[in-house]
Amino acid sequence: MAGGGSPNFGERRGGATPELIVIHYTAMESCAAARARLCDPQAEVSAHWLISETGEAIALVAEEMRAWHAGAGAWGGLEDVNSRSIGIELANRGDAPFPEPQMAALERLLRAIMARWSIPPEGVIAHSDLAPGRKSDPGPRFDWRRLALQGLAVWSDAQSGPLPALPVFAALAQTLGYPPVADDTLLAAFRLRFNPRAEGPLSDLDMARMADLAARFGADGDQWRGA
């Protein structure tokens, strides 16, 4: 696949290949402004793909190369997420819904990338997942459930599970891939994606969804099946 557009990339380190897809929003006023920044060598940021509000998918860095999109953070014990991932930026200020043409284009692109690199649905994550407390994109307006229904991400609608307990919640989060962070930071990051309307302390619903996701997709999921 030919890339192009941004000079901000390098070789993937240690012979790594993509295992993850990280979804971002640009937090800029327009797609054109975001593209200019992602292609500015002084900005030292980039992504493999940028999707406009009208659904145009713009290739900025070849998928074989290491784009500079994830920054500091970790997922599944991997600290150099840039070497293990493909970054997709969605043109969105961060306070607006994601238009239908943009979501449809994202779905098409995800299917193609997942097929090219044999990435499973659990490998599609939010920027906020790998950098809890530092990043919040793609934010609470992003429709993860829609992607999951098509096998393009993971989701949980679980309503019941173990009694809420922060130490258990944090342990389960690490089996999913979340890095070790303060309990309140972890809960906020989890809710951004899986329970965006929630407020206050850890709830039954938070715990139920975490346990369900850990059972189905966590590294030690067997012990939580049927919880």
Supply the residues annotated as catalytic.
89
Length of the chain: 227
What distance in Å separates the CA atoms of residue 153 and residue 32, rounded to the nearest whole number?
28
8 A C-beta contact, residue 59 and residue 3: yes
What distance in Å separates the CA atoms of residue 57 and residue 113, rounded to the nearest whole number?
13
Using CA atoms, how far residue 221 sits from 19, 83, 174, 214, 224, in Å, is 20, 26, 11, 5, 6
HSE-CB of 77 using CA atoms within 13 angstroms: 3
